[in-house]
Amino acid sequence: MSQFDVTIIGSGPGGYVSAIRCAQLGFKTAIIEKYSTLGGTCLNVGCIPSKALLASSHHYEELQHFADHGIEVSGDVKVNLEKMIARKQAVVDQTSGGVKFLMDKNNITVFNGVGSFESATSVKVTKEDGSSEIIESKNIIIATGSKPSSLPFIKLDKDRIITSTEALKLKEVPKHLVIIGGGVIGIELGQVYLRLGAQVSVVEFMDRIIPGMDAALSKELTKVLKKQGMKFYTSHKVQSVERAGDVVTVKAENAKGEIITLEGDYSLVSVGRRPYTDGLNAEKAGVKVTDRGQIEVNEHLQTSVSNIYAIGDVVRGAMLAHKAEEEGVLVAEILAGQKPHIDYNLIPGVVYTWPEVAAVGKTEEQLKADGIAYKSGSFPFKALGRARAGGDTDGFVKILADAKTDEVLGVHMIGARCADLIAEAVTAMEFRASAEDISRMSHAHPTFAEAIKEAALAATDNRALHV
Ligand SMILES: Cc1cc2nc3c(=O)[nH]c(=O)nc-3n(C[C@H](O)[C@H](O)[C@H](O)COP(=O)(O)OP(=O)(O)OC[C@H]3O[C@@H](n4cnc5c(N)ncnc54)[C@H](O)[C@@H]3O)c2cc1C
């Protein structure tokens, strides 16, 4: 029987990062993964493959604007979807191989199979061939992640009524892709197929897409995507999704009680994800699981059993890879007797469409609901030299600061490179910067980052320089 200090169940960004930190801190560490590849949802069917397809489809879209830059392309430009998907898979394989390398480098023992609790200190690993072995461990970290969820009346056939997992490996560009759910995943994958030539319709229950983000970002993203040809049916409640042959019919009810009917050849159901604990047998170890399948944890990510912790998508909070990573590191450091801390308010959220959308801290809606007096400064990208030089003029940066102290409370941006620009806002807020602090920092010219300085100037004293 193998014995370890820490055993981690699940090798997603939460699990594998935690394993590395545990090993760095001197723990004899094991990781269990039920699939043959490491990296979990993020590396295999999430962040990385979706970004690979977004990058490829973005190249294709940009090519259609080359003429604006004086570049003439002669001959047909065609999409080879099979090759695009194969490239995506190569990126995934390389990235997952990198995780295996990191496990080996850090002397972490990898077990391939389904992990299920036998007791609070032992886990059975059942391999694909049915054989099993028992691992004994002083501490156990549950990092089993999440799976796509659906609506009770939708029968996912994974062929034409699909989840994000299938949408990452389609064999043809849909003629009409009907997306149910206007959250981050639906919108990102919608833009991929829109760029490749599909008609894309998004049906959203709430009154706006990306509803968790600041309303100004939703509004601007909707405007830009509409310009690109995406159709939106917000405040629509899906009633049924039926397939007959190659046709998928989606019926939805609008706010007036009218039923609209959309006919497509594919429907992507992207209504969120559910925590995944199937087969884990958590109850056998005494670990409390909620009705939704979420593992209950305290502020130290400790479950109802003191030597068992849980991190990432399987616990409360944002379902994001970097949130899972921070939690993985936090638990490892707690086990080592350290006193780490995560400020959940400063975990940024990003939508990798083009323009990119990114945010950190409080939205205007949250500040209003909390009764916090704030001031707001915005700056449009179209007023930036760098944005005009590149032809990426959509979007803006908005900074919300405390009305009295000037402390930055939230930063919301949509535009080119915002996924990277948001790091400046996170840094500033981590150090509790004021809007004036940011406005007095030199930003290289010409850069997209100048929009942050200008928005900070606008928030400080309404004194942006270039508008
Ligand atoms: C299409 C898509 C795009 C996304 N894009 C982004 C993005 O750009 N940025 C971002 O931050 N997040 C993104 N996400 C979300 C991100 O993938 C998740 O938040 C992240 O993967 C969660 O990490 P995790 O470690 O908690 O779990 P997961 O990555 O889900 O990993 C859990 C692992 O545990 C394994 N497992 C489960 N049960 C067992 C068991 N009993 N025994 C052994 N192994 C088990 C699973 O097989 C899996 O490999 C995206 C998700 C999707 C679906």
Q: Tell which of 271, 303, 325 closes a domain.
A: 271
Probe target for ligand 1 pocket from 36, 42, 277, with the most ligand atoms within 8 Å of CB: 42
Q: Please give the angle made by the CA atoms of 37, 187 and 159, to the nearest 5 degrees.
A: 55
One domain, residues 358 and 450: yes
Closest Cα partner for 111 from 33, 41, 6? 33
What is the reported pLDDT for 464?
A: 80
Confidence band of 244 (pLDDT split at 50, 70, 90)? very high
One domain, residues 22 and 144: yes
φ/ψ of residue 35, rounded to 5: -90, 165
Probe target for ligand 1 pocket from 16, 45, 47, with the most ligand atoms within 8 Å of CB: 47
One domain, residues 71 and 214: no
Q: Over the stretch 21-75, which tens digit does the pLDDT of each residue have?
A: 999 999 999 999 999 999 999 999 999 999 999 999 999 999 988 999 999 988 8
One domain, residues 62 and 201: no
What is the reported pLDDT for 48?
A: 98
Please tell me the residue having the least CA distance from ligand 1 atom 51.
46
pLDDT at 141 over 90: yes
What is the reported pLDDT for 112?
A: 97
What is the reported pLDDT for 1?
A: 75
Rounded distance from Cα 127 to ligand 1 centre (Å):
20
Binding residues for FAD: 51, 115, 144-146, 313, 319-322
Q: Based on the structure, what is the number of domains in the chain?
A: 3
Tokens (6 digits) for 82: 């099979």
Binding residues for NAD(+): 181-188, 204, 272
Please tell me the residue having the least CA distance from ligand 1 atom 33.
10
Q: Counting atoms of ligand 1 from 1, which one is nearest the CA of 147? A: 30
Q: Counting atoms of ligand 1 from 1, which one is nearest the CA of 116? A: 41
Burial 58-68 (b: 16+ CB within 10 A, else e): bebeeeeeeee
Rounded distance from Cα 13 to ligand 1 centre (Å):
7
CB within 6 Å of ligand 1 — which residues? 9-15, 32-35, 40-42, 46-47, 50, 114-115, 143-146, 164, 185, 276, 279-280, 312-314, 319-322, 324, 352
Rounded distance from Cα 91 to ligand 1 centre (Å):
17
Look over the chain and give the mean of its residue pLDDT values, rounded to a whole number: 97
Burial classification of residue 25, based on how many CB atoms lie within 10 Å of its CB (0-12 exposed, 13-18 middle, 19 or more buried): middle
Confidence band of 292 (pLDDT split at 50, 70, 90)? confident
Q: Which residues are catalytic?
A: 445
Note down the domain range covering 34.
2-148+274-342
User: Is the residue at 464 inside a domain?
Assistant: no
**CA distances from residue 22 to 17, 145, 290, 326, 340 in whole angstroms, order as listed:** 9, 19, 27, 13, 14
Please tell me the residue having the least CA distance from ligand 1 atom 53.
46
Please tell me the residue having the least CA distance from ligand 1 atom 8.
47
Rounded distance from Cα 313 to ligand 1 centre (Å):
7
Q: Counting atoms of ligand 1 from 1, which one is nearest the CA of 13? A: 25
Q: Over the stretch 63-105, which tens digit does the pLDDT of each residue have?
A: 988 999 999 988 888 999 999 999 999 999 999 999 999 999 9
What is the reported pLDDT for 461?
A: 79
Report the CATH number that the domain containing residue 93 is assigned in CATH.
3.50.50.60
What is the reported pLDDT for 41?
A: 98
Distance CA 91, CA 103 (A): 19
pLDDT at 179 over 80: yes
Please tell me the residue having the least CA distance from ligand 1 atom 2.
46
Please tell me the residue having the least CA distance from ligand 1 atom 48.
40
One domain, residues 387 and 240: no
Average pLDDT over residues 210-233: 98
What is the reported pLDDT for 74?
A: 86
pLDDT at 212 over 90: yes
User: Is the residue at 154 inside a domain?
Assistant: no
Distance CA 23, CA 335 (A): 12
Q: Tell which of 271, 286, 316 closes a domain.
A: 271
One domain, residues 288 and 368: no
List beta partners, residue 380.
396
One domain, residues 22 and 137: yes
One domain, residues 297 and 192: no
One domain, residues 281 and 219: no
One domain, residues 310 and 351: no
Probe target for ligand 1 pocket from 144, 166, 301, 325, with the most ligand atoms within 8 Å of CB: 144
Q: Counting atoms of ligand 1 from 1, which one is nearest the CA of 35? A: 47
Average pLDDT over residues 355-374: 98
Are 192 and 55 a contacting pair, CB within 8 Å? no
Average pLDDT over residues 378-388: 97
Residues sharing a CB contact under 8 Å with residue 41, sequence separation 6 or more, in sequence order? 12, 145, 146, 313
Q: Counting atoms of ligand 1 from 1, which one is nearest the CA of 10? A: 34
Q: What is the dihedral of CA 223, 228, 229, 232, to 10 degrees?
A: -30
List beta partners, residue 117.
123
Q: Counting atoms of ligand 1 from 1, which one is nearest the CA of 16? A: 25
Q: What is the DSSP string of 30-85?
A: EEEESSSSSSHHHHHHSHHHHHHHHHHHHHHHHHTTGGGGT----S-----HHHHH
One domain, residues 267 and 403: no
User: Is the residue at 446 inside a domain?
Assistant: yes
Beta strands in 270-352 (DSSP E): 273-275, 308-310, 349-351
Rounded distance from Cα 14 to ligand 1 centre (Å):
8
Report the CATH number that the domain containing residue 410 is assigned in CATH.
3.30.390.30
Closest Cα partner for 266 from 288, 286, 289, 250? 250
What is the reported pLDDT for 360?
A: 98
Please tell me the residue having the least CA distance from ligand 1 atom 6.
47
Tokens (6 digits) for 26: 């001197």
User: Is the residue at 466 inside a domain?
Assistant: no
One domain, residues 223 and 278: no
pTM of the model: 0.97
Please tell me the residue having the least CA distance from ligand 1 atom 9.
47
Binding residues: 51, 115, 144-146, 181-188, 204, 272, 313, 319-322
Q: Tell which of 300, 324, 342 closes a domain.
A: 342
Better-scored residue on pLDDT, 289 or 467: 289
